[in-house]
Amino acid sequence: MNMEKLIKIQLTNIILATVVGFILGGIVLVLTGYNPLEAYGALFSGIFSKPKYIAQVVIKSTPIILTGLSFLVAFKSGLFNMGAEGQYLTGSIVAAIVGSKLDFPGGIHFLAVVVSAVTASALLGAVIGILKTKWGVNEVISCIMFNWFLLYLNNYLITTPWLKKPNAEASYEIHETAWSLVAGKWKTTEKGIAALSGSGSPFAEMLLRTDLNYGIVIAVIVAVIIYILYKKTTTGYRLQSVGANINASRLSGIPVEKNIICAMALSAAISGLAGALTITGMMPHRLSQLRVHEGYGFSGIAVALIGANSPIGCIFSGLFYSMLEYGSSSIQSKTGAASEIMDLVIGTIIFFIAISSLFRIVLKKKKGESKHE
Amino acid sequence: MNSIGVILGITLMYSAPLVFAAMGGVISEKAGVINIGIEGMMTFGAFTGAATGYYLDNPWIGFLCAALAGGAISILHAVACVNFHANQTISGVALNLIGTGASLYLARILFDGATQTLPLKKKLPKLVSNADGTISLDSTAAIAFILVVLLWLYLYRTKGGLRLMAAGEHPEAVDSLGISVEKIRFCAVIASGILAGAGGAAMSLAVVSSFSQTVISGHGYIALAAVIFGRWNPASVALACLLFGFSQSLVVFLGNGTITIPSQVLAMLPYVVTIIVLIVMHGETRAPKASGVPYEK
Amino acid sequence: MNAAHAIEMHGIVKRFGNFCALDEVELEVKKGSIHAILGENGAGKTTLMNILYGLYDYNKGQILVHGKEVHFKSPRDAIHAGIGMVHQHFKLIEPYTVLQNIVLGYEKKGLFGFIDYRKARKEIEALIKAYHFKIDLDAKVRDISVGMQQRVEIVKALYRGADILIFDEPTAVLTPQEIHELTGCMKNMTEEGKTVIIITHKLEEITQCASRCTIIRRGKFITEVAVDGCDTKKLASLMVGREVNFSVKKQKKAGTEPMFEIRNLTVEDRQGICRLSDLSLEVHHGEIVGIAGVDGNGQQELFEAISSLIMVKSGTITIHSKEIQNTDPKTMLENGITVIPEDRQKDGLVLDFTVAENLISQNLSAPQFSRHGFLKKPEIMASSAALIEKYDIRPSGCSALKCRALSGGNQQKVIIARAIARNPDLIIAVQPTRGMDVGAIEFVHKALIEEREKGKGILLISLDLDEILKLSDRVAIISSGHITGVFDAQDADKGKIGTLMVGGKN
């Protein structure tokens, strides 16, 4: 394959953009008086040097893989879901309520939490879809409105005596029956702690030191299901067709309104799942006061873009994003350079993905020059 | 009665940053470029304004620098959208990360590792105010609303405005008249960056007196929503900003918990109202036709 | 170099990538004359004029205006040199008023740097009077008729002081009467010493008004001829490069009972303005019914009403005595109606889907293509390959290619293949040959006639009166949302149809 063909492939563009992102990040580090090699070294040791770091990266990647998928699902149907933030909150609020207020046996409780959270956020998505199809309300604006509405709803609910834990600025914790931690109960028992700290295996360390949970498995399953949905099914065909050309789809007998509502509901459901899994899988298993949004929605957009709008791609870009975010704290602790350098790097990568036609132009120029010589 | 005055003052103060940023959004979208990166540009402006204002000990110079910083960072978006025909949304997302990242990174370097700047000795002044705060008008609010009038006149009365809006409706037509669509769009994006930067500073220099990680948190997106809500018309967009500013002022004013209705519930209201109004308007929003579409000859 | 020539273009070469759009093209236009440039769609006429107008740069060649060599970098230079262009797709800003559109780019400043509309209005009104136009300067462009929009474009050029006017396919959307008016207007201009260049692929227009004619074929200069003493047949063969058969062989129609009926159809738009009023129409088996009319007289609404894209206020649309108004496109398809929409890229195809995917878009749930909601990929590819072969969609074997990569003519073939593969009873074809070259047009016409021979009904909505007269068994004329007359195609008379198209009495 020649260079020109290679550059037409999205993956190549993304890799090139990543390289450029790191180089430019390095230049910024040099300009501000840090050694980029040292900084990037710290970054990678902060990600890979201990099993628990790797586990943290995986744990933190779960919600953003899901919000990335959520953005992707909407995007494939021509919708711009800026509302992952609010849908995430919907999921976590419902998860916290069902998890703390109801009693079920272990496992079933977890399922009940997830199903109710996903249903609630899917309903929110359907409302956004109906607002768009019935009344022409632009989904970007309704999403932003719901984001803030839900932020304040979250803050309000945890001031009510019903949900507020006394002496805390937060809600009650959900019951352990609803947790999705790996070996959640056992590892906190004395016997468990003793067994784990004695074993010395890397997995034991992960279990003991992190909130390792089943969320990532669910996220990967969701990604695979979405992949199959778009590749193999008529539903996926319709959902994508509506996004690619709404007029032609309508004339082909595809019910476009229904598909838009479904796409938005599905998208929101996935963000809601992210919220629910955070509550079930991570300490402190409860809602807290929010001054601003947590940024999962926005990270999701970045994940979807770096993942080249492919469901499987989202798994990798989610992990990648999570690595950089998590590893960035080591840059700060080891070299003193601010961890936000990674935001700059990620931003630069996305910027170069946006202008990836640049790579083609540069290549052409080079070719032209070599011809002259 | 007094509280109405106080709320009005706070509303205007909180609206000003939104108005600046939203006017930037109007200019850019009317010319055909969606600027989702306003949030990042605002953050960068808020930081630059607070930092330069602190070091030079003058909030006005800070305000000016903020506008310039917003303009500078928006060059990236302009180059991507105009010269490289990039997907405008992707570029905007990138700018949000870059703007926020750069602000915090620089803050840590300049302010001993803190993600915030030290407070200014004096904020941007109020034009009018009395002791108990029942009458107050921020200079930023005044500038913002003068800006609305000027932008309206520019768009609907001048040659530049006529051409700018044409570039957002039918760029081929503009091109066929020998007017450079690229130039119009490039300048519009820079203008929107300048205004977003000023909007950020109106937050960090007038509402509070320093920059911190949360000083700009979603304001850019709200400004964006205001642009759509106000149907791309400067006057209605400004009204939308007032509504959202009102919401924030309620949270601030009632946050002390003196009133029986929880402040959070009141704070939700404007967002609900917006959606209801949009339903009643029934999709009458008409975006500039070529907005978001890269123009290639 | 000749000062009697308003325009000279010598040896013009223009390449787009590897494609040579113009290869050493020559053009000489006498001052004060009407000069035609004749060529098929895609021959390079518009490219040549876009070069003259400064919209495109060129790779080689020389351009002289009034004997002086020029090199325009932008239309601004061309406008400055007195050249004006009326594009085929009008370059007007729809939400702007006529006045705003005319001054755009040529604004005059008044107080505080605001645009001095009053002064502009005076000057423009004088211009309108001089050319006997009737234009409402305060109307929004989106509210005025196509003919009117063209006049706005003309005034736009004149207001900029143009003395050389280029018209790109100016008659494509006009009624015979409007065409007549336009010809008169062009002659007026030449009498005032202005030069007119008209780009067209219609022969009749040339013989009506032009004095000389340059013929271009596939980017190459063929010849320049005097129009007097040159018959249309000869011009046509020069244009296409072979003998052209103008008539289509048709056999007598068979059906007697109408299979598709529209009764007293009334449609209002959102503002409550009547778009179709009391419209009745029927189509028999084995019959092509052509709808002739000026653009914007309800053709679009008729199409949209049949496919339930818009709501019908009253009246019925029936196929095989089943009412289908106010249902949805799916019901229409299920009842044996299929559509070939006017805008193939906007309404016909999903450009980012492959050819195979587009070919099944109306048959997704059919058992041959899916089971339990899962697509049957092998069957889909096989069916697609067969259709590509049958309809000669190029490049051959393009099943897995995105439709975006196909040429316009081949995209249209995909739509036609999809429509006919459903084995419908009625085909609604809207402008099925818009913007296609002669070869592709012949293909589409043949396909439609073939379906007619098989006993299908065809409703042909077209702005091209020649196309309608050529294909139809019966012609219905639509004006202001109403059918103003129905003729057997044999008895049709162009003048009479033209009168009816603008709402005159039969």
Report whether pLDDT(A108) > 90.
yes
A118 in the same domain as A189: yes
CB of C413 closer than 8 Å to CB of C443: yes
A369 in the same domain as A330: no
Domain B2-281, second-level architecture: Orthogonal Bundle (1.10)
CB of A331 closer than 8 Å to CB of B255: no
Q: Tell me, what DSSP letter sits at residue C78? A: H
For chain C, the residue count is: 506
Report whether pLDDT(A353) > 70.
yes
- Identify which of A182-196, A316-330, B124-138 has the greatest average pLDDT: A316-330
pLDDT band at C33 (very low <50, low <70, confident <90, very high): very high
Count up the domains in chain A and report the number.
2
Chain A residues near residue C349 by CB distance under 8 angstroms: 245, 248
What pLDDT digit, counting tens, does each position of C204-252 carry?
778 888 899 999 988 899 999 888 877 777 887 888 776 655 555 566 6
Q: Tell me, what DSSP letter sits at residue C471? A: H
In C48-170, the DSSP E strands lie at 60-65, 68-70, 83-86, 164-168
Residue A237: which of C329, C352, C375 has the nearest Cβ?
C375
ipTM: 0.92
Give me chain C's average pLDDT, please. Answer: 88
What φ, ψ does residue A359 adopt, rounded to 5°? -60, -40
A237-251, B258-272, C35-49, range with the lowest pLDDT = B258-272
β-pair type (C34-38, C195-200)? parallel
What pLDDT digit, counting tens, does each position of B277-295 carry?
888 877 656 788 888 888 8
Report the pLDDT value the prediction gives residue A373, as an integer from 0 to 100.
36
Chain B interface includes A354 (CB < 8 A):
yes
User: Which tokens belong to C506?
Assistant: 């039969």
Kindly report the CATH number assigned to the domain that includes residue A197. 1.10.3470
In C142-273, the DSSP E strands lie at 164-168, 195-200, 212-217, 220-226, 258-268
Report the pLDDT value the prediction gives residue A371, as an integer from 0 to 100.
43
pLDDT, average across residues A110-127: 97
Residue B218: which of A137, A293, A305 has the nearest Cβ?
A293
pLDDT band at C132 (very low <50, low <70, confident <90, very high): confident
Report the pLDDT value the prediction gives residue A368, as an integer from 0 to 100.
63
Q: Is residue A42 part of a domain?
A: no
Chain A interface includes B100 (CB < 8 A):
yes
A246-255, B251-260, C83-92, range with the lowest pLDDT = B251-260
β-pair type (C287-292, C474-479)? parallel
β-pair type (C5-16, C60-65)? antiparallel
Give the H or E element holding residue A8. helix A3-8
Give the H or E element holding residue B17. helix B2-30
A307 in the same domain as A185: yes
Report the pLDDT value the prediction gives residue A116, as an integer from 0 to 100.
97
User: Which tokens belong to B286?
Assistant: 């008409």
Chain B's closest residue to C90, CA to CA, is B173
Closest CA to C164 of C52, C87, C252: C52
pLDDT, average across residues A111-125: 97
C5-240 in CATH: which number?
3.40.50.300
CB of A157 closer than 8 Å to CB of A171: yes
pLDDT, average across residues B75-92: 94
Identity at C324, one-letter amino acid code: I
Centroid of chain to Cα A36: 28
Report the pLDDT value the prediction gives residue A1, as an integer from 0 to 100.
45
A352 in the same domain as A301: no
Report the pLDDT value the prediction gives residue A372, as an integer from 0 to 100.
45
pLDDT band at A35 (very low <50, low <70, confident <90, very high): very high
A342 in the same domain as A301: no
Q: How many other C-beta atoms lie within 10 A of the C-beta of residue C213?
A: 24
Report the pLDDT value the prediction gives residue A249, as an integer from 0 to 100.
96
Tokens 């999205």 found at: A10
Report the pLDDT value the prediction gives residue A208, as an integer from 0 to 100.
77
Chain B interface includes A136 (CB < 8 A):
yes
Q: Are A247 and C346 inside 8 Å of each other by CB?
A: yes
pLDDT, average across residues A119-137: 95
The residue ranking higher by pLDDT, C494 or C92, is C92
Report the pLDDT value the prediction gives residue A370, as an integer from 0 to 100.
53
CB of A91 closer than 8 Å to CB of A274: yes
Phi-psi region of C437 (alpha: psi -120 to 50; beta: other; left: phi over 0): beta
Q: Which residues pair with B22 in a beta bridge?
A: none
DSSP-based three-state secondary structure for B57: coil
pLDDT, average across residues C248-271: 78
A329 in the same domain as A342: no
Residue C348: which of A244, A248, A255 has the nearest Cβ?
A248
Omega into C378 within 30° of 0, i.e. cis? no
pLDDT band at A4 (very low <50, low <70, confident <90, very high): low
Q: Tell me, what DSSP letter sits at residue C434? A: T
pLDDT band at C351 (very low <50, low <70, confident <90, very high): very high
What pLDDT digit, counting tens, does each position of A208-267 carry?
778 888 999 999 999 999 999 999 999 999 999 999 999 999 999 999 999 999 999 999
| Exposure string for C62-95, b = 16+ CB within 10 A, e = fewer | ebbbbeeebebebbeebbebbbbbbbeebbbbee
CA–CA dist B85, B295 (Å, integer) = 7
Q: Is residue A157 part of a domain?
A: yes
β-pair type (C195-200, C212-217)? unpaired
The residue ranking higher by pLDDT, B112 or A94, is A94
Chain A's closest residue to B96, CA to CA, is A347
Omega into A284 within 30° of 0, i.e. cis? yes
Residue C365 distance to chain A (closest CA, Å):
7
DSSP-based three-state secondary structure for A142: helix
Phi-psi region of C105 (alpha: psi -120 to 50; beta: other; left: phi over 0): left
CA distances from B214 to A36, A300, B111, B211 (A): 28, 20, 16, 8
DSSP B262-295: -HHHHHHHHHHHHHHHHHHHTS-----TTTTPPP
Give the chains touching B; criterion: ≥3 Cβ pairs < 8 Å. Answer: A, C
Q: What percent of chain C is modeled with pLDDT above 70? A: 96
Report whether pLDDT(B179) > 50.
yes
Report the pLDDT value the prediction gives residue A136, as an integer from 0 to 100.
87
A234 in the same domain as A326: yes
Q: Are C329 and A235 inside 8 Å of each other by CB?
A: no
Report helix, strand and coil shares of chain C as percent, to nearest 5. Answer: 35, 30, 40
pLDDT band at C506 (very low <50, low <70, confident <90, very high): very low
Q: Is residue A45 part of a domain?
A: no
Give me chain A's average pLDDT, please. Answer: 90
Residue C375: which of A234, A245, A250 has the nearest Cβ?
A234
C-alpha dihedral sign at C162, C166, C171, C173: negative
pLDDT, average across residues C387-397: 89
pLDDT band at A276 (very low <50, low <70, confident <90, very high): very high
Report the pLDDT value the prediction gives residue A359, as an integer from 0 to 100.
85
CB of B77 closer than 8 Å to CB of B37: yes
CB of A235 closer than 8 Å to CB of A229: yes
β-pair type (C164-168, C83-86)? parallel
pLDDT, average across residues B194-209: 95
Report whether pLDDT(A183) > 60.
yes
Report the pLDDT value the prediction gives residue A101, as an integer from 0 to 100.
92
Report whether pLDDT(C140) > 90.
yes
CB of A39 closer than 8 Å to CB of A335: yes
Report the pLDDT value the prediction gives residue B146, as an integer from 0 to 100.
97
A357 in the same domain as A326: no
The residue ranking higher by pLDDT, C40 or B52, is B52
CA–CA dist C397, C385 (Å, integer) = 6
A38-47, A272-281, B6-15, C169-178, range with the lowest pLDDT = C169-178
C258-501 in CATH: which number?
3.40.50.300
| Exposure string for B223-244, b = 16+ CB within 10 A, e = fewer | bbbbbbbbebbbeebbbbbbbb
pTM higher than 0.80: yes
Q: Domain segments of chain B: what residues?
A: 2-281
Report whether pLDDT(A59) > 90.
yes
Print the domain residue range for A140: 52-335
C-alpha dihedral sign at C106, C107, C108, C112: negative
Q: Domain segments of chain C: what residues?
A: 5-240, 258-501
Q: Which residues pair with A171 in a beta bridge?
A: A164
Chain A interface includes B256 (CB < 8 A):
no
CA–CA dist C341, B259 (Å, integer) = 61
